[in-house]
Each structure stands twice: as structure tokens, then as C-alpha cells.
Amino acid sequence: MKRTSYANLARLWTAVEARAEEREPELTARIRRSAEERGIRQPPAAQGELLELLVRLLDAKSVIAVGTADVVDILRLVNGLDGRGQVTAVDSSPEGIGLVRSVAGRLSGRTGTGLRAAKADPSVFLPRLNAGDYDLIVVGGATANYAPTFAEAPRLLRAGGVIVFTDVMALSDADGDGGGVPDPVDRSSDTVAKRQLIDDVTEDERFDTALTPSGTGTLIARLKG
């Protein structure tokens, strides 16, 4: 690909994100600003838009979100459920769970969708959940969340259910300016772990997969029936 084409791709990403920000629901935009004013970086708006659409495409009723500091994504998941079902948010950090509980309070009376917050390590909490009960799992936050959540996904998801890994390019802390999975000389622990995750998921014959450049890299895997 020519250098000018790469420049066009960067402009494309910027244009898509600007449009998604304009279309972001008012409450989500307010909570984004509030979180970022507190120094809690939020994921791209276009990523949340994709997640909300996935909820609707799957006609999902039961969703798990791991790594809850990405609170704007949780709001988009709630939006996609259209007043039904439940989002179970799992995070071991007090900061992440505090954000979710704050959002749950602001959603009170606005929707019939339940939002449950569990302050726990996913490797401990997820094995306690019922098998085959979930339509969609979304993983973000600390890199340590990814492998244990994937390990539980085949048991937790119904046939045809989907697991989504956000920021699989390990770019969220680099603002997309370099490093991460696309940089072959980056051997940081997070980048190495996410390279391995991509290999593990895409090579797992139980799943159909697609690796996309949405957000800061999104890996989508569907459990085969």
C-alpha cells in the first residue's frame, strides 16, 4: 500500500470518529466528558456505535462487559438492549466499578434493562456464571482481563453468541501514534499478550472470527453452533 493510502486511512478513521461523536447519545456524551475530566480515558465513539449495533443484530438479552472503566461502551450496550435484559459488568478495580454504579444510578427510571456491577477478578467471577446463558461478551480494560475471559467464553455463550475484544492492537495508551501490535519492535508485556490473544482466538476452531480496525482494533469471534 502506498504512503498516501496510509494517510487516507488515517483521515478516514478521523472522519468516522468525528461522525460517531456527533451521533453519540446525549447521556453517553455527558458521561464521556465527566470520565475524561477525571482522567479516565474512554474508548472511541465509533467503537460504542458498533457494539450497540451488535447487540441489536444478535437480538441479545444477556450481556457481560469485562473491564468497566470503558463506561461509555456499557451505556451503548444498555441502549442496544432497548429496555430488556441485563448487562453484567465485571471489574476488579474500585474505579471501574464506581463508574458503573454511578451510571446505574443515572439510568434508574430511564430503562428497564438491568445493570449489575460485580467487583471481582474475571478469572474468579466468570466461572460462577451459568453456562450457555449469554449472547454477547465484551472485553476491555486491563490486558489481564482478556485471556481468562476468552477461556470461559465457550462455556458462557449460547451457540451463535459473540465475544468482542476491544483495543486488541494495544494502542489505547499510545493514542494510535505508534507502538502496540502493529509495531514489530514493541515487545512490551501488553503488546506481547495481545499478539498471543489474536493468534489464540483466530486459530480456535470453535469460533468464526474477524479482526477489524474499528476503534483501536477490535476482534470479533462467534461461537459456532
Dump the DSSP string for 83-100: T-SEEEEEES-HHHHHHH
Q: What is the pLDDT of residues 84-141, one digit of tens each?
A: 999 999 999 888 889 899 888 888 888 999 999 999 999 999 999 999 999 999 999 9
* C-alpha neighbours within 13 Å on the C-beta side of residue 206: 15
pLDDT tens for 181-196 read 999 999 999 999 999 9
The residue with cell 488515517 is: 10
What's the rounded mean pLDDT across residues 147-163? 98
Average pLDDT over residues 73-83: 97
- Between CA 78 and CA 27 the distance in angstroms is 12
In the predicted structure, residue 176 carries a pLDDT above the cut 50:
no
Find cell 456527533 and name the residue: 22
Alpha helix segments (H runs only) across the chain: 3-23, 26-37, 45-58, 71-81, 94-107, 122-125, 146-156, 189-202
Q: Are 115 and 107 in contact (CB under 8 A)?
A: yes
pLDDT tens column, 4-42: 677 888 899 999 999 999 999 999 999 999 999 999 999
CB 174 within 8 A of CB 6: no
**Ranges of each domain in the chain:** 3-223
pLDDT of residue 175: 45
CATH class of 3-223: alpha beta
Closest CA to 208 of 195, 219, 222: 222
Cα separation, 164 vs 17, whole angstroms: 19
Q: How many CB atoms lie within 10 A of CB 23?
A: 11
